[in-house]
Structure 1
Amino acid sequence: MKYYVEEVYLTEIIFQCEQGLDAVHRAQVFLNKNEAPRHVMSFLDDVIDHASRASLLLWPVPGQETKNKQKQEANQRRASRGDHLRSVLELDDEHPIKSRKLRDNLHHFDERLDTITSKTPLVFIDGELGPRILVEVDGAVASTMRHFDYNTSTYYFQEVEFNIAEVVRGLADVRERCLARLASLKEKPRAG
């Protein structure tokens, strides 16, 4: 990958990481005030969305097999880009932001909401802050759109769990690796 192309990707990954980290700080402000749960949920959604975008750049979704030459080339470019970036950043497949559930979060939003709303009887909770027991009805967890358990740092979005502290550590780690790689690229002679 040419250095200037790599810089474009690194800069975008840094942007996504910083937006995710900023969102968690904004959520913390509202949590500290113990007010505006909707804002907290919005910011936590943002954390997941930005982590997902960074994840897609580093671990692109493999393209479907096709006979179309342009699509084959696009699939190969994505795979090569991901391989190169993970290699230079020394990221392994155990990294917290590689999580497939991060990337699937938005893509399957509508399907999961359809599943939740098809349950009977429907007991639906959205925007709850506090221990998981708060979203239990008769000893079972109710259908939950958004719930944040600040004791465990777990964000439940449509019944999918995200450990926000782990995601934040992952975002900070990737950001630092990208910044270091950018600095090293700037020190090298520009041969292309």
Structure 2
Amino acid sequence: MDDLENYIKESGGIQPPHLAFYSQAIRFNVESAMVSIETLASFIEMTNDTKGDYEMTGELQDSILDHLQNLLVHAGALSRYFWPSKPGKHDLHKLRSETLKKHFGLTDESPLKSRKLRNQLEHFDENLDKYLWAKPIVGHVLPAYVGGEIESGGVPAHLFRAFYLDIGVYETLGVRHEVQPIVDEICYLYQRFHSEPNT
């Protein structure tokens, strides 16, 4: 075992002065996701205030879906800090992730750990290719949808991006993600940054 490998293991993959760099990188993703969470919370509040009596314009629909996608993209980016895809040479990435999980108080029960979410977003271009070429696209084809869960009545429905308000689920290319647990975890990290000045 060489000196570098020893030092990586002893330091848990992060030299103490370097924790600030990781914290800044993570803070960017958390705060970028929070902008979308706040926008989505305003929309939900508006739907409650109007008791569902509002016009779902194409512009509003796109904005909601854009913010959901932004939230999930940043959740996927955060996931890589805490659950890297490879351990790295001398287990550098693995050790770094363990140190960050301890520092931020995350466990393997976190919804941010989801590989399904990460793979869907990281390889979205490839997933789009596969989805569009896997079988004939027939039936209801909706590039964007926000509303209650669709009852297709046996007719296939193909959705590029959808948010089902009644169950809090975002769907893209046939893959569903429950939004609230991810929102809760990002809000938890946001509070960590704003309650502990040196996080």
Aligned to 2:66: 42
| Distance change >3 Å, CA 82–CA 44, structure 1 → 2 | same
Q: Distance in 1 between matches of 2:138 and 2:171?
A: 18
Q: Distance in 2 between matches of 1:92 and 1:156?
A: 26
Aligned to 1:13: 26
The reply on whether 1:126 has 2:143 as its aligned counterpart is yes
| Distance change >3 Å, CA 87–CA 181, structure 1 → 2 | farther
| Distance change >3 Å, CA 102–CA 88, structure 1 → 2 | same
| Distance change >3 Å, CA 121–CA 90, structure 1 → 2 | closer
Aligned to 1:168: 183
Aligned to 2:6: none
How far 1:116 moved relative to its partner? Answer: 2.4
Structure 1: stretches of 5+ with no match in the other structure: 64-70, 186-192
| Distance change >3 Å, CA 169–CA 95, structure 1 → 2 | same
One-letter amino acid matched to 2:117: L
Q: Distance in 2 between matches of 1:90 and 1:30?
A: 30
Alignment map for 1:1-192 (pairs within 5 Å): 1-29=14-42, 32=46, 34-35=56-57, 36-62=60-86, 72-73=89-90, 76-118=91-133, 119-123=135-139, 124-133=141-150, 136=152, 138-178=153-193, 183=198
One-letter amino acid matched to 1:128: Y
- RMSD (Å), alpha carbons: 2.3
How many residue pairs get aligned? The number is 173
How far 1:144 moved relative to its partner? Answer: 1.4
Q: Find the residue that maps to 1:126 and give its secondary structure.
A: strand
Q: Distance in 2 between matches of 1:181 and 1:98?
A: 24
Report the TM-score, using the length of structure 2 for normalisation. Answer: 0.76
Q: Distance in 2 between matches of 1:110 and 1:21?
A: 25
One-letter amino acid matched to 2:165: Y
